[in-house]
Amino acid sequence: MPARLIDSLGTTGPLAEVFSDRSVLQAMLSFEAALARAEGKVGVIPKAAAAAISAAAESAEFDSSDLSQSARRAGTLAIPFVKKLTEWVKAKDSEAARYVHWGTTSQDVTDTALILLLNRAHPLLAEDLHRLEDALGGLSEEHKNTVMLGRTLLQAAPPITFGLKAAGWLGAIRRSRLRMDIAFRETSVLQFGGANGTLASLGDKGVAVGRALAAELGLGFPDAPWHTHRDRLAAYVTSCGVLTGCLGKMARDVSLLMQGEVAEALERVVDGRGGSSTMPNKRNPVGSTLALAAANRVPGLVASFLSSMVQEHERAVGGSQAEWPIVAAVVEATGLASASMADKANTLEISSAKMKENISATKGSVFAERAMMLLGPTLGRSAAYEIVRKATMKSVAEKRRLSEVLAEIPEVTGILSQQTLRLMETPEEYLGVAEEFRKRLLSGRFPLQDGEEEQ
């Protein structure tokens, strides 16, 4: 299903379908049908009525526009929904209609429907994230020896490898996905508490019905209803926020690497992607644009959800009612960022030649730290720092290589040979343990716990 035009830069087609009117109604109908079947199994309602309700729910057709207007009057979608479902069942079996929505409450329907929607949405996010992780792993391996400028505070710094940079993106995104997966599993539970969370309307059959209902829907059965305890959902929404931030970080890096003055990366133009309406020469960072738009939007949405957690007593006024559009927007934005960066990673072109050229353009100034460390053992750090600082300033002012300027300073040439000075500006010779860190990131290892030995 295509997204509304106003949402076209805020979601993907599959996620727009998950949160469409048709899908929302189907989730609510699934709850009511499963409830009837569960109550029939436990003996709370007649099995014939359960079968009739379940069958009717599978064929029910409602006017979503009419339901939307009625929901605003009722303060919940569940009330007009249950009324319409009851009428639908009654037209087919008047006796069964007496047992529609038996023993449950509005929030049980809406909360569980939301969880069912998340059960459909989460695999879509996971699919794109796995695609992205595979692409980043490939880029990291392909470019493990591709040297480039490190950049600190947006200024040129000693070299790194693009393989390490890609592995850094991968590590953060993978960790965030794993946290999101954990939060999803904890969130994927039934809501079923009746009017005030005790299921008193079902007598001593409440737990039995709840377990049967959870099994019908493929959800976990929690210790108790969670009408005003929104911590599980909050953990999931927050994990989406962290993940989207990590995707945004990657998007920001890539968009900067794509700047014309830098030109170390390009997003391949495919299917009209990346062009300009007026400038034929442009290759715009479209994937980064969409991911950054999501990263800009999601933090505020997460904050809104966290604000809605402060809910009073057993059922709240305005708390859960605020959540549906927030959760949908967060998940859709996260999904858009994931899909966009997966597409980008699979079409990213890296210019190793331009990366080397940009290192060379610094005329060796990015190796000032290396010069200082070579001189430091003999001169001391402070003295070495001052000599190299002045040499660097002269190198920049006279547009000469740092090694050439250093070769004219007696304090330097008395310690470092001409060959050492020439080799000082070789990027491959000043990468430290970049490759070890890259491999560790790709392995997916987590920091060691107390008492754990490194393998």
Active-site entry in 68, 276, 417, 443: 276
Annotated active-site residue 140? The verdict is no
Residue 277 is a catalytic residue: no
174, 177, 230, 315: the active-site residue: 315
Q: What is the 3-state secondary structure (H, E, C) of the chain?
A: CCCCHHHCCCCCHHHHHHCCHHHHHHHHHHHHHHHHHHHHHHCCCCHHHHHHHHHHHHHCCCCHHHHHHHHHHHCCCHHHHHHHHHHHHHHHCHHHHCCCCCCCCHHHHHHHHHHHHHHHHHHHHHHHHHHHHHHHHHHHHHCCCCEEEEEECCEEEEEEEHHHHHHHHHHHHHHHHHHHHHHHHHHCECCCCCCCCCCHHHHHHHHHHHHHHHHHHCCECCCCCCCCCCHHHHHHHHHHHHHHHHHHHHHHHHHHHCCCCCCCEEECCCCCCCCCCCCCCCCCCHHHHHHHHHHHHHHHHHHHHHHCCCCCCCCCCCCHHHHHHHHHHHHHHHHHHHHHHHHHHHCEEECHHHHHHHHHHCCCHHHHHHHHHHHHHHHCHHHHHHHHHHHHHHHHHHCCCHHHHHCCCHHHHCCCCHHHHHHCCCHHHCCCCHHHHHHHHHHCCCCCCCCCCCC
Residue numbers annotated as active site:
276, 315
